């Protein structure tokens, strides 16, 4: 990892940790681009990548769709971080939650926190499932299948409960220490992904770029229960895989510490190490598995072969792969449970931080019992971004267009509101319209994330203008 600071930083260090939660970050605490580069490279080469890469293969992508589509989609994500998130963050230097409170009011922020916390728990649950597939390899555990929803037997349940309990205990008792350790573990995980990809290429007999391209070729029919991914599916999905963080403005809490908005470019380390190299490496592992007699027999029966990260990594690099999958799942689930715990704690202001973490850990462990959260991760990530991203549109549109639209910035704070109906109705209408269209006409949910985001921003300005008429002047 490249670091410009002598002290290792993590996303959680910069996102809060009890400092400057309700005031702008002072100049003395601003940090250089090196802190963000290592942080994003580590955060986005994690347990989710072991699942997402294979799932692209189950969606029947072609070589062009995957390789070029990911190049473009991840670049659009970097642009969103650079010119929206980082740009606003360095001008206001506030956390997402405090900025939302100023605009929305405390009651509406509580609603956001609960929704955010629950979705975080589902994501952490998927990572507990990922780690369980690694722990289960030496125990000969029956692995979850692609179309499984319910737990896979007693051994699986026991492993998930133990893994979830350990992760929750660590998050509740020693997050500061383990978060720093996780930052140092990330190079090991990145190297493991690279090694898995290289070994998988050898197992596939790839000797040149043409043979590499031929692994996906012109694509294939999706496995049962999956939708066919085209070029635009890959582009839009990879752009909005982290929609809550960039266009949803969650990473305002991170980039408020950046000296300049140009620090937003460091997100490319996460996008092209984790969301490009690691996804493709994981897909190569699955391509090796699909050529085994076991997978061919499953395909011959018109069923979907399993997507179990533990066995896939073990088949490539042995016990190092097992350890890498456990660490990757752990380094994702741990901060995710911690974040969810902070969100839940907002409901109980007098409770200790550990209380919220324990609640989040329990929910995440329960979610981990159900393999569907991991096996349907592409769809879940799209849903997660679709729900939360429009709240970021409220911040973006107010920042760039408030004075032009003639509305009062930070209206809830200025008017003393605990609940700003303009924000709620802008989100509810945009969510309702586009979720209905997606459900009714079978539109890929990521395709309607950007229209919902734009509509929410516009509606916020229009409703705010009408609501504020004759009360306060900008």
* Residues 256 and 90: beta-carbon distance below 8 Å: yes
Maximum separation of any 2 CA atoms in the chain, in Å? 73
Would 6 be classed as within a structural domain?
Answer: no
Query: Is 301 inside a domain boundary?
Result: yes
How many beta carbons lie within 10 A of that of residue 107, not counting itself? 14
Query: Is residue 116 in some structural domain?
Result: yes
Per-residue pLDDT of the chain (474 residues; tens, 9 = 90+): 333 333 334 445 545 444 566 788 888 888 888 778 877 877 787 778 888 888 888 888 999 999 999 999 999 999 999 999 999 999 998 888 889 999 999 888 888 888 888 988 998 898 898 888 888 888 888 888 777 788 888 889 999 999 999 888 877 765 555 556 566 777 888 888 899 999 999 999 998 999 999 999 888 888 877 789 999 999 999 999 989 889 999 888 888 888 999 999 999 988 998 899 999 999 998 898 888 888 888 777 777 777 788 888 888 888 888 888 888 777 777 777 877 887 787 777 777 767 888 888 999 999 999 988 888 888 888 898 999 999 999 999 999 999 999 899 999 999 899 999 999 999 999 999 999 999 999 999 999 999 999 999 999 999 999 988 866 554
CA distance 293 to 154: 27
- What is the number of domains present in the chain? 1
Would you say residue 306 lies in a domain?
Answer: yes
In the prediction, which pLDDT does 174 show? 52
| Alpha carbon distances (Å) from 252 to 103, 249, 307, 388 | 15, 5, 34, 14
Backbone phi, then psi, for 31, in 5-degree steps? -125, 155
Is position 1 within any domain? no
Phi, psi values for residue 304, rounded to 5°? -95, 125
pLDDT of residue 452: 97
For residue 449, what are the domain limits? 11-468
pLDDT for the residue numbered 472: 55
C-alpha span between 230 and 228 (Å, rounded): 6
351 falls within a domain: yes
Q: What is the CATH number of the domain that holds 113?
A: 1.10.4160.10
4 within some domain: no
pLDDT of res. 2: 33
Domain contains 2: no
Sign, CA torsion 70/72/74/77: negative
- Start-to-end CA span in the chain (Å): 46
């Amino acid at each position: 990892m490249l670091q410009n600071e002598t002290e290792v930083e993590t996303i959680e260090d910069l996102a809060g940790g009890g400092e400057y939660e309700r005031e702008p970050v002072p100049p003395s605490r601003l940090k250089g681009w090196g802190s963000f580069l290592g942080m994003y490279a580590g955060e986005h080469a994690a347990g989710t990548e072991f699942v997402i890469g294979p799932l692209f293969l189950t969606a029947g992508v072609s070589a062009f769709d995957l390789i070029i589509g990911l190049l473009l989609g991840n670049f659009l994500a970097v642009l969103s971080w650079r010119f929206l998130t980082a740009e606003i963050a360095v001008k206001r230097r506030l956390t997402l939650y405090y900025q939302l409170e100023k605009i929305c009011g405390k009651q509406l922020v509580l609603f956001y926190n609960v929704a955010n916390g629950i979705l975080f728990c589902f994501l952490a649950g998927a990572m507990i499932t990922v780690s369980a597939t690694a722990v289960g390899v030496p125990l000969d555990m029956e692995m979850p299948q692609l179309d499984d929803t319910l737990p896979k037997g007693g051994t699986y349940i026991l492993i998930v409960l133990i893994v979830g309990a350990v992760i929750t205990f660590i998050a509740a008792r020693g997050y500061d220490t383990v978060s720093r350790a996780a930052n140092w573990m990330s190079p090991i995980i990145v190297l493991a992904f690279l090694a898995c990809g290289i070994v998988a290429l050898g197992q596939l007999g790839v000797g040149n770029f043409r043979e590499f391209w031929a692994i996906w070729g012109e694509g294939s029919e999706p496995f049962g229960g999956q939708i066919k991914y085209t070029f635009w599916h890959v582009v839009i999905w990879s752009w909005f895989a982290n929609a809550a963080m960039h266009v949803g403005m969650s990473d305002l809490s991170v980039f408020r510490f950046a000296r300049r908005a140009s620090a937003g470019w460091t997100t490319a380390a996460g996008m092209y190490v984790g969301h490009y190299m690691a996804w493709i490496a994981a897909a190569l592992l699955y391509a090796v598995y699909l050529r085994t007699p076991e997978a061919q027999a499953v395909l011959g029966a018109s069923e979907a072969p399993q997507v179990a990260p533990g066995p896939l990594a073990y088949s490539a690099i042995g016990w190092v792969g097992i350890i890498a999958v456990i660490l990757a799942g752990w380094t994702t689930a741990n901060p995710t449970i911690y974040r969810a715990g902070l969100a839940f704690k907002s409901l109980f202001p007098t409770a200790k931080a550990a209380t919220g973490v324990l609640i989040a850990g329990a929910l995440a462990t329960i979610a981990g019992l159900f393999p569907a959260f991991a096996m349907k991760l592409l769809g879940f990530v799209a849903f997660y971004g679709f729900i939360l991203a429009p709240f970021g549109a409220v911040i973006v549109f107010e920042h760039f267009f408030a004075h032009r639209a003639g509305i009062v910035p930070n209206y809830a704070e200025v008017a003393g509101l605990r609940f700003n109906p303009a924000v709620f109705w802008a989100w509810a209408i945009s969510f309702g319209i586009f979720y209905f269209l997606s459900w009714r006409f079978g539109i890929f949910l990521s395709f309607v994330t950007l229209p919902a985001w734009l509509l929410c921003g516009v509606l916020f300005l229009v409703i705010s203008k009408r609501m504020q008429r004759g009360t306060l002047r900008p």
